Amino acid sequence: MLRPSMLEISGLRKVFPNGVVALDGVDLVVPAGEIVGVIGRSGTGKSTLIRCVNRLEEPTAGTISLEGEDITRMRGPQLRAARRRIGMIFQQFNLLTSRTAAENVALPLEIAGVGRAERRRRAHELLDLVGLGDRGDSYPAQLSGGQKQRVGIARALASEPSLLLSDEATSALDAETTNSVLDLLRRINTELGLTVLLITHEMDVVRRACDSVALLDAGRVVEHGPLGEVVARRDSRLATGLLPQFGRVEIGEHEEAREVVVFDDELQLSDGERVEARSTERIGDRRVTRALVVSPKGVTV
């Protein structure tokens, strides 16, 4: 059965006053409970897209439905209520340096008028959830980048959003920390059923965290689909980026090499062939093997 959509973006255009067309008719569906990645080169409109979803930018045209309600038409209290259903995490974490981790997490609750004792209880519960139960009294300057982003995630969860927006949230982190933050997002997605729209320029991030992916190019979605489906497409820019990589291999003068991609199955070799390099990964719901198969020159297989 198809999942109901959390977010439906249709014909979204954003033209800035200086005439730059940042979004040129974006259509995108984010099913409830999924992590959807939007990938694209610098300047393709990724941040503008996310800023339109939380209405930090006013769209020029198009609709953005959050759980069936068009948020582009909302104003005042209705818009504020919709915004509370949307959490956001940032590349530079955006924590207040003069506040402790727990006070940062409690900020959205303070704004919502929640009492002090309840704020404290919730902040510690959320810090526990992100693995920082013992760092509530630390200031941002006393935390590593990965820990700061965990505080950012806890703060984003404080108003119990149904949708989390992430704009390059791991771009300032090293590879290992990136993976641990992505794994945390995955865990929250599973445990809390939180839907995530994740913006990135790195295919590794998509591969590790997302259920489906959309490729944004010059303000338009040019390709999209579930990871397991996209990776099997021929001549697909997304598939090329998603496929497992293997290192460089020297091929002998009397040998021929061919690349083979196998889905959900083991690699079968013909007589005289051998695998020179192989890499297998789980991508979406499939197991994908990429192999470099070598055979002596002149042998047809």
**Residue whose CB is less far from Mg ion, 46 or 135:** 46
Tell me whether residue 48 or residue 104 sits nearer to ligand ATP (CB atom). 48
* Binding at 79: pick from Mg ion, ligand ATP, none (beta carbon under 5-8 Å per type): none
Q: For ligand ATP, which residue of 3, 4, 11, 43 counts as binding (CB under 6 A)?
A: 43
Is 16 one of the binding residues for ligand ATP (CB under 6 A)? Answer: yes
222 binds ligand ATP (CB under 6 A): no
Residue 213 CB, shortest distance to ligand ATP, in Å, is 15
Q: What DSSP assignment string belongs to the chain?
A: -PPPEEEEEEEEEEE-TTS-EEEEEEEEEEETT-EEEEE--TTSSHHHHHHHHTTSS--SEEEEEETTEEGGG--HHHHHHHHHTEEEEETT----TTS-HHHHHHHHHHHTT--HHHHHHHHHHHHHHTT-TT-TT--GGGS-HHHHHHHHHHHHHTT--SEEEEESTTTTS-HHHHHHHHHHHHHHHHHH--EEEEEES-HHHHHHH-SEEEEEETTEEEEEEEHHHHTT-TT-HHHHHHSPP-------TTEEEEEEEEESSPPP--TT-EEEEEEEEEETTEEEEEEEEEEETT---
Judged by CB under 5 A, the residue of 13, 15, 24, 47 near Mg ion is: 47
Q: How far is the CB of 301 from Mg ion (least distance, A)?
A: 47
Nearer to Mg ion, 46 or 224 (CB): 46
Q: In angstroms, what is the minimal distance from the CB of 183 to ligand ATP?
A: 23
Binding partner of residue 45 among Mg ion, ligand ATP, none, CB cut-off 5 to 8 Å per kind: ligand ATP
Residue 195 makes contact with ligand ATP by CB under 6 A? no
Shortest distance, CB of residue 47 to Mg ion, whole angstroms?
A: 3
User: Which residues of the shown chain bind ligand ATP in the complex (CB under 6 A)?
Assistant: 16, 18, 20, 22, 40, 42-48, 201
